[in-house]
Amino acid sequence: MRGQLPVLILALGIPLSVLRAGQAPRPNVVFILADDLGWSDTTLYGQTKFYQTPNLERLAARGMTFTRAYAASPLCSPTRSSILTGLSPARTGITAPNCHLAEVVLTASAAPTAAPSEPATPARSVTRLATNYFTLAEALKQAGYVTGHFGKWHLGREPYSPLEHGFDVDVPHWPGPGPAGSYVAPWKFPAFKERTPGEHLEDRMAAEAVAFMEKHRDRPFFLNYWQFSVHAPFDAKKSLIEKHRARVDPENPQRSPTYAAMVESLDDAVGTLLEALDRLGLVDRTLVVFFSDNGGNMYNTVDGTTPTSNRPLRGGKATVFEGGIRVPCIVSWPGHVAAGSRSDEVIQSSDFYPTLLELLELKPQNMQVFDGISIASALQGQSLPRDAIFTYFPHSPKVPDSLPPSVVVHRGDWKLIRVFYAGENGGHRCMLFNLATDPGEATDLASREPRRVQEMDALIERFLSQTGAVLPRRNPRFDPATPRGADSGRKKPAPERKVSPRSTPKPA
């Protein structure tokens, strides 16, 4: 396989057989994943005048920007698992960001009880990405790539760290949900210390990633740079905070100077990687993906306001409305993906694994399944052969605009949300939106489109069956008159046994 160029060169009209005769190296892969960066948090979509992301614009000028890219979950760990496995959180059971907890849970289950304000019992999420999944990193390593993970992981500590999932190196080798203590040194990582006083974590992570590229410039590499930014804790370089404080418009819902400074440091790190690719002469043979693990945070408080605003989208992180799951996305590969192009095709985080396999002409393992599909045709400006995507979120976080346990289907311009057992007579409640005319999800059309609701809910039912999702149960204690959150008295569920999950086994 080594030495073969990916199939996208066919879009250039050059016969593959001719190019195979050359000595072109296999492309490198750089996957940049932001944390909590919302769709409206970059200048890619014309939704912000406060945040500044010139390096993301620079990357977009080299490739394709997706306007309708979706995280597999409105929370981080489930989306991260979907990238590495190509599977839906409904299938892996990782549906909540609890992979830093001490308890090792490898099978999902329905919680035994819920508060009277909740119509359904939530799921108990898996807390580790089990090592019997054959990950994207393992697939590329098997194909001869050197693999490196830099930044946030949040899929489990040893023996579930990046080093057990196909990565040769892992820096800073930290299992937590965010930075250890602060972005600006001194940090609190057990085995990773700052080199200079006041060093910014994202500057350091980018420098470590560049050193990896420099060391392995002569062989194919897979660089997984999962940024800590812009997740809490909310702190940044003081000079950048003051810079953006002077720019605040009190009428703009995006008005946190600290968050704006964090966005700038995230963008600066992207620029550091792009500059290194330029300097090392690797641009034309490096495929770069930029993505975010979920929508922007709308429930914490920073500088007297929410960290960000996802307008015109509804909701944010931890909700299944568009603000919680629609995210920025760029795929760049000069000479293979048209520079400065855009696509309105609907894609999801679980698509990246099968896509990279196709582009690199690698085959999946025997019996390996994906919930995502290859988006190679979209990268050529074509439509995708898919009917729908699904977002499974069987939880009930108490944040603004959140719903009880839910599942979502997107089909074309239409979006249906099924809220488990929240409808009349204990049935499911369905909410229907036309995103083409109502991207803010202000008008529920379910009562006007009963046939469409029935068809799309049937798709949900099939998806839940195919993935073997652990479903929420009807809550016998549910009292519709009780306000949500009024009763948090829940029985602590009994610890679960450590057992292996359903998955595609690794090859012997």
Active-site residue list? 76, 154
The CA distance from 121 to 491, in Å, is 12
The CA distance from 306 to 297, in Å, is 7
Count of alpha carbons within 13 angstroms of residue 220, beta-carbon side: 21
Residue 170 pairs with which residues in a beta bridge? 149
The CA distance from 34 to 49, in Å, is 20
The CA distance from 427 to 429, in Å, is 7
Whose structure tokens read 């307008």? 311
CB 63 within 8 A of CB 333: yes
Asked, as a colleague might, if the bond just before 230 is cis with ω within 30 of 0, I would say yes
Question: What is the dihedral sign for C-alpha 60, 212, 154, 137?
Answer: positive
Q: How far is CA 181 from CA 31, 190, 274, in A?
A: 25, 11, 28
CB 409 within 8 A of CB 463: yes
The CA distance from 1 to 220, in Å, is 12
**For residue 376, which amino acid is it?**
A
The CA distance from 433 to 320, in Å, is 13
**For residue 441, which amino acid is it?**
E
The CA distance from 190 to 91, in Å, is 33
Using CA atoms of 177, 180, 183, 184 in order, give the dihedral in degrees to the nearest 10: 180
Q: How far is CA 453 from CA 427, 445, 469, in A?
A: 14, 9, 21
Tokens of 455: 């068809």
CB-CB neighbours of 334 under 10 Å: 16
**For residue 314, which amino acid is it?**
R
Tokens of 390: 């699904």
Tokens of 501: 């999950």
Question: What is the dihedral sign for C-alpha 304, 309, 314, 317?
Answer: negative
From the centroid of its chain, how far is CA 216?
A: 27
From the centroid of its chain, how far is CA 179?
A: 18
Residue 28 pairs with which residues in a beta bridge? 286
